[in-house]
Amino acid sequence: MSSSERIIIFDTTLRDGEQSPGVSLNVEEKLQIGRQLKKLNVDVIEAGFPVASPGDFQSVKRIAQELRGLQVAALARANVKDIDTAWEAIKEGENPRIHTFIATSDIHLQYKLRKTREQVLDMARAAVEYAAKFTSNVEFSAEDASRSDLDFLCKVFEAVIDAGATTVNFPDTVGYAVPHDFGRMIRYVVEHTPNIHKAILSVHCHNDLGLATANVLTALENGARQVECTVNGIGERAGNAAMEEVVMAIRTRRDVLPYDTAISSQHIMAASRLVSMLTGMVVQANKAIVGGNAFAHEAGIHQDGVLKERTTYEIIDPKDIGLSKGILVLGKHSGRHALKAKLEEVGYKLSDEEIDRVFIKFKSLADKKKEVYPEDVEALVAEEVLRIPDRYRLIYLHVAGGSGIRPTATVTVEIDGKEVDGVSLGAGPIDAAFKAVAKLVQTESHLLRFAVNSITGGTDAQGEVSVRLEEGSYVVTGHGIDPDIITASVRAYLNALNRLEHMKENAPQKKC
């Protein structure tokens, strides 16, 4: 294939993906995802929005320092402070990219920015000129491009390219576009921006109408050569175009999509599981490519066809995304080397000390279960290695309930190193336990969601619980695992409370 048909994969899981409601990743969690994205061989990692908080700045800086062989981008609004902060975070990267943006639609200009088109044009040009003083790798995004006047948009793109932008991004910020019209808009920009050949045209599609991947593909057909996407399609509101969908659509339908990417697709499944585990966002069973049912066949006719010839009902070989029927079974007789091999297989690179911590929990779990599955191992890593420092920690839990008995929970929680006890009644054992914990920590948060999943099959499976809490402007997701579902629930609740405290402590300071 010619170089013009090479599609750049710009992964924004760590920036736009983390903006999913309730998601808050710490530095170590972001590094783990970044390392997996490196295995996937993405071209660009948008590591975060450095000016947003000290934690985000440190995450971006660590990723830029550690990950080589790819571009690390940092987001910045079209102002000097944001750009300075972004550059400070990424300047040690191998090929750092400053990604600056400003809205161009009249609705954003009138109600959000309260500026004229001329003012926005000047701000965009000035921001790119300033960013280009630090690096030749500058991207400009026209926020809400799909609802912008296209002639004005072309004028902005022309100006920022002249100012030094090497990538210009056309975002469908609110997921408003439909494929045939989005293709028309991309083609119009290509045909009416005189210097567009001097830059890569990018697209960033949201999924509010369920059309993100379709819009990306039609944009490629009309001249776009960079795709901004996320693992599992996570992101603001209904999310972004899913990286795995775009990549596998190109790979599977080269007959009508004559493009290529550098993605090592065999790492897709590991990336999906890692992102799901660390964000607490469960992948729906019928999600394309990475959902639990994506390669499942229940209908007799389908089963018969697949047994005779896989391609009768599978357009993708499961091995191409990292799924295989061969499973390394872990159990109570497995040693550290087997555990380390499984950890590396599912995308984790841990120190010897971290492996030792996971190994102790693994042995404890193996005594309770006949087999320990990869999903169990991932959950143990999330619990033992990637958790934020705990202000609250579960020490003891006892619940009483059953037919004719008023559910009661007795808990001991360590708060800032001191153990405190509490007892509460509830509608059920989990409700009682949550009420007891809430009294002890004196939280003002409200429970928005409570979800329970079995990590693997069987009655001895570990229970995986995620909860979503809200307090004021903060929304967080907590995650807990344990073979006992009530214990898993309390762990998830305390994890969410710890994340809530972490977010408060790391919130950006407001200036008077």
CATH, residue 452: 3.30.160.270
The pLDDT of residue 475: 83
Q: Answer yes or no: is 140 within a domain.
A: yes
Establish if 293 belongs to a structural domain.
Answer: no
* CA–CA dist 501, 476 (Å, integer): 10
Quote the pLDDT of residue 512: 31
186 plus 270 within the same structural domain: yes
The pLDDT, as a whole number, for residue 457 is: 64
Concatenate the DSSP letters of all residues of 238-291 into one string. T-B-BHHHHHHHHHHTTTT---B----GGGHHHHHHHHHHHH--PPPTT-TTTS
259: left (phi over 0), alpha (psi -120 to 50) or beta: beta
Determine, yes or no, domain membership for 245: yes
Residues 362 and 432 in one domain: no
In a domain, 306, yes or no: no
448-477 pLDDT per residue, tens: 989 887 766 666 677 888 888 999 888 888
Residue with tokens 């999310």: 239
pLDDT at 386: 66
* Same-domain pairing of 163 and 111: yes
Q: Provide the pLDDT for residue 329.
A: 54
The angle at the Cα of 377, spanning 374 to 383, to the nearest 5 degrees, equals 145
Torsion angle, CA of 295/297/302/304, rounded to 10 degrees? 100
Q: Give the pLDDT confidence score for residue 268 in this predicted structure.
A: 96
Q: Do 355 and 260 share a structural domain?
A: no
Domain residues for the domain of 209 are: 3-279
- Name the β-bridge partners of 101: 77, 141
Specify if 289 maps to a domain.
no
Are residues 259 and 184 part of one domain?
A: yes
Same domain for 173 and 250, yes or no, is yes
Record the pTM: 0.79
Same domain? For 225 and 251 the reply is yes
Q: How many helices (H) and strands (E) does the chain have?
A: 16, 14
Q: How many domains does the chain have?
A: 3
268 shares a domain with 129: yes
What would the pLDDT profile of 215-258 be if each residue is shown by its tens digit? 999 999 999 999 999 999 999 999 999 999 999 999 999 999 99
- Do 375 and 458 belong to one domain? no
Q: Are residues 95 and 45 in the same domain?
A: yes
Same domain, 184 and 246: yes
Q: Which two tokens stand for residue 16?
A: 């736009």
What does the pLDDT read at residue 479?
Answer: 81
Tokens of 386: 């990637």
How far is Cα 410 from Cα 423, in angstroms, rounded to an integer?
4
Q: pLDDT value at position 301?
A: 67
C-alpha span between 38 and 264 (Å, rounded) = 10
Give the distance, in angstroms, between the CA of residue 148 and the centroid of all CA atoms in the same chain: 28
- According to DSSP, the residues that pair with 423 across neighbouring strands are 410
> Among 384, 403, 421, where does a domain finish?
384
Give me the residues of the chain with pLDDT under 50, please. 1-4, 325-328, 509-512
- Same domain? For 225 and 102 the reply is yes
* 154 falls within a domain: yes
Which amino acid is it at 470? E
